[in-house]
Structure formats: C-alpha cells, structure tokens
Amino acid sequence: MIIGLTGGIASGKSTVSKYLAEKGFKVYDADKIAKDISEKKSVQEEIILTFGNKILDENGNIDRKKLKEIVFKNKEKLKQLNAIIHPKVIDFYKELKEKSTDEIIIFDVPLLFESGIDKICDKILVVISDYEIQLNRIVERDKIDRELASKIIKSQLSNEERIKKADVVIENNSSLEDLFEKVERFCERI
C-alpha cells in the first residue's frame, strides 16, 4: 500500500514522516529526492539556463536561498522550476510503485496534489496547522522574514483544499506528544 503524506510548509509533515520512519515504515521524501535530482549536472544546467547567473553564489553553484526568493515572489518562476524538477520526481515515484510489494510505503510529498503524485497513492494522509503557527515556525526555522514566509504559505494549496482530498487529516497545533498520539492512532488503522 502506498500512503501519500502531505501538508503545507511547517505543518509538521516532516516530523510525522520522521516518526513513521522510526517506526519502521519505508519513507521516501520528495524534497530529498528533488534535491538529489537538482544536484545532477544536467538539471543544474537547465535551472541556470532558465533563471540566469543571478541565482549563483560566488563559487558558481546554485544559491538555494536566492532561487527560493525568486520563485516564491513570482508564480510563473515557480512553475518554471517545478516544470524542470517535478517530472523527474514523478518518474522516481512511479518506478517505486511498480517495484513495491505488499508492504506499506510512505511517499512524503509536500506538493502531492499539485504534482499529481496523489493519483498513484492508495491513501492520503494530510497534516495541517493553523496559519499563524505555520508562519511562526517558518520564520524561526528558516530565518526569513514574515512577508516571504507568508508568500510561501500562500503559494501552496490551502488546508481546506488539502482536507477535501484527504483520507485522513492530522491537526498539528499542539505539542509533539499530541501529534505522535494522533500518528499512533493512524498507524493502528492501517
């Protein structure tokens, strides 16, 4: 069974993902897969060709912070970056599904619905948090200003849209203990 795990930025999705991995589930993290893909020379060349030298650091490498600022301030730029990376990530997940046995596999994908990966999942688990909680977590974790953090949140699907497409929703507005209890209840049902 393939379980698609998703949630907005700073919703607690990655915490849930790590917890499930610690419980012995096989978890495939789309961010890590996308990062690995984006580090391939051919993909980096495509990104530089699309966004220009302004995204490079002093050593000629892609500066992820500069790239993030560009794509989250301009939806068209975000679409361009996603058009480079998403098809390769989707292919990776499709190959995994074809090779999977009867075991439970978790696809940890922030943009599960936007990328279409939800269509190859058997169940969808969505982690949500209130907007202000997300905003504060991003500012603290990523050391960015509230305005950029807000733009990142607003560039993603809303909680309401995710909930409509979910089989299970875990709300993460409280403590880690509370979150882990909810994940345990989810695990008992699968």
Is 13 annotated in some ligand binding site? Answer: yes
Tell me the pLDDT of the chain averaged across its residues: 94
Is 4 annotated in some ligand binding site? Answer: no
Is 11 annotated in some ligand binding site? Answer: yes
Tokens describing residue 131? 């907007």
Tokens describing residue 108? 């940890």
Average pLDDT over residues 71-86: 91
Contact 157, 114 (CB under 8 A): yes
H or E element: which one contains 125?
strand 123-128
Domain count, the chain: 1
pLDDT at 135 over 90: yes
Is 15 annotated in some ligand binding site? Answer: yes
Tokens describing residue 118? 């939800």
User: Residues 145-186: pLDDT tens digits?
Assistant: 999 999 999 989 999 999 999 999 999 999 999 999 999 999
pLDDT at 102 over 80: no
Tokens describing residue 5? 């795990």
Question: What is the extent of the structural domain holding 38?
Answer: 2-189
Cα(74)–Cα(69) distance, rounded to whole angstroms?
A: 9
Per-residue pLDDT band for 190 (boundaries 50, 70, 90) equals confident
Contact 110, 13 (CB under 8 A): yes
CATH number at residue 171: 3.40.50.300
* Residues 6 or more apart whose Cβ sits within 8 Å of residue 135: 10, 146, 149, 150, 153
